[in-house]
Structure 1
Amino acid sequence: MLRGKNILVAGAGGLLGASTVVEIIKNGGSVVAADINKESVEVKLSSMGVALSSEQVTTCSLDVTCEESVISFFDQAESLAGAVNCTYPRNDSYGAHFFDVTLSGFNENLTLHLGSSFLFCQQCARFFQKNEERFSLVNLASIYGVVAPKFDIYDGTSMTTPVEYAAIKSAIIHLTRYLSAYINDSRFRVNSISPGGILDGQPETFLNKYREQTNGKGMLDVEDIINPIIFLLSDKSEYIAGQNIVIDDGFTL
């Protein structure tokens, strides 16, 4: 599905990013696997069976919160057919409950995550305008960028949905639409996906309450998110532009 396409995956050392790299390779594409820590990406991908000596994968360091790093990467990049932004930058106070969030902490997290998303989008668009070759950008939003959190599913746990998260993810959805309308060229496509919760060792009480809000699946497996990403990167989604695809087994209904 992706044969002949070279895709940038930012945040390739994370849960979703590393799995995206693997799936792109399985679908015949090649990958630039980028993260703030190149060594950790290589360890992660090796543990998942990726042959780092393969011509299908290149690893590099990329700090999406640093304007110089992002601009330099795209200035030197060649023949990219798309990009997936799986990064999740945040500060040490991230995840605090609403009344414990300080203004400075809130602003810093918006700068780190939303600001870096803007920068990444901007430089993908500049890369396209420079090269004028087809390009598909996939942003990662969330169901909590679409609807308000269902706070009762967190009762009895220390978990919550950070207010910064909801603000950032809703903004990423609109940033995606803005960019699509601004570039206004069928050869440049940008879309977002809004996943439901992804299984990652959450407590059973939470998983049960979450499952009750869905059509039966409950929390998603990483693979449930990857397939739509591959679709958006491929030519099979050629005229899907500026859209937000919700993947949640009915959670937002």
Structure 2
Amino acid sequence: MKSLYSDHFQLHGKTALVTGALGILGKRFCAGLAEFGANVVVVDIDEQLCQQFAKELTSDYQTDCLGIGCDVSSPKQVEAMVEEAMKKYSKIEILHNNAATKTADLNRYFTKFEDYDLDQWREVMAVNIDGMFLVAQKVGKEMVKQKYGTIIQTSSIYGIIAPDQRIYKGSDYLGTSINTPAVYSTSKAAVWGLTKYLAAYWADKGIRVNMLTPGGIESGQNDAFKQNYSSRTPLGRMGQPDELIGALIYLASDASSYVTGQNMIVDGGLSTW
């Protein structure tokens, strides 16, 4: 029988571990992976909610999903999380290293650079880059034994270009005046460095490592921000969460079998000018 190109996108029988799985994007990422056949390990801070969402995925997509609570900034919790996933599935073929934080105090998080608190900086970095390192390290170690795996790490458009400060005039997020803090841009830029390093480091182990870079996604911003952002974008609008799924499935599947060390930018063209 002739091989179908669509078969290359299928993930049946594979296990995909997703961190930051309960976020606005994380839930879509998990659903997309499950729809294409993967057994999804749902990883986020709240274990009860992870387990509940994993049950929903199992029911909706007829896959075998698992929810695990984990603070990715904790080496011990990351080690225990990976051990639990391996105990159930014996292999992890796909890692979506997606966890990031704005921290609990949005006013502190959005403080201007001149007054930014070092403890706040370190709290964000502990999740956005330390957590990515810890999860990639532990899952990657298992992938080395398997001699196969694909890792996708979520960055941001503001990890590769600077924010246009003019778009924040009159803008807020869930009622809080917003900007893009330097800690966010810096942490997301570091993701690109880690991605390229690991792509070269593990290439001979059969492990591919790529980065997924979303542009601005509608997620609770006010109309002023949406208008300001959209006017800076060639496609003239912000993105929707579901518009990232095609890129994720491509990078997670054998459809991208000759792709590693690359940055898949989904930004409506913002980075072209």
Structure 1 length normalisation: TM-score? 0.91
Residue of structure 1 in register with 2:197 after alignment: 178
Matched, 1:2 2:23: no
SS at match of 2:265: strand
Contact 2:213 2:266 in 1 (8 A): yes
Shift of 1:186: 5.9
Matched, 1:70 2:78: yes
Q: Report the Cα distance in structure 2 between the residues aligned to 1:138 and 1:95, rounded to whole angstroms.
A: 27
1:160 paired residue among 153, 166, 179: 179
Amino acid corresponding to residue 218 of structure 1 in structure 2: R
The residue correspondences of 1:115-126 to structure 2 (distance < 5 A) are 115-126=130-141
Contact 2:42 2:54 in 1 (8 A): no
Aligned residues: 251
Residues 155-192 of structure 1 show CA distances to partners (whole Å, capped at 9, x for unaligned) of 12221001100000000011100111122326101111
For structure 2, which runs of at least 5 residues remain unmatched after alignment? 1-9, 172-176
Matched, 1:13 2:13: no
Q: Report the Cα distance in structure 1 between the residues aligned to 2:128 and 2:38, rounded to whole angstroms.
A: 27
Amino acid corresponding to residue 136 of structure 1 in structure 2: T
Residues 36-55 of structure 1 show CA distances to partners (whole Å, capped at 9, x for unaligned) of 21212344567x77628954
Q: Report the Cα distance in structure 1 between the residues aligned to 2:110 and 2:54, rounded to whole angstroms.
A: 28
Q: Report the Cα distance in structure 2 between the residues aligned to 1:73 and 1:103, rounded to whole angstroms.
A: 29
Q: Report the Cα distance in structure 1 between the residues aligned to 2:57 and 2:208, rounded to whole angstroms.
A: 31
SS at match of 1:56: coil
Q: CA RMSD in A?
A: 2.0
Change (3 A) 1:53 1:176: closer
1:89 paired residue among 101, 111, 118: 101
Shift of 1:239: 1.4
Q: Report the Cα distance in structure 1 between the residues aligned to 2:82 and 2:51, rounded to whole angstroms.
A: 21
Matched, 1:142 2:142: no
1:100 paired residue among 104, 107, 115: 115
SS at match of 2:59: coil
Matched, 1:204 2:223: yes
Shift of 1:110: 1.6
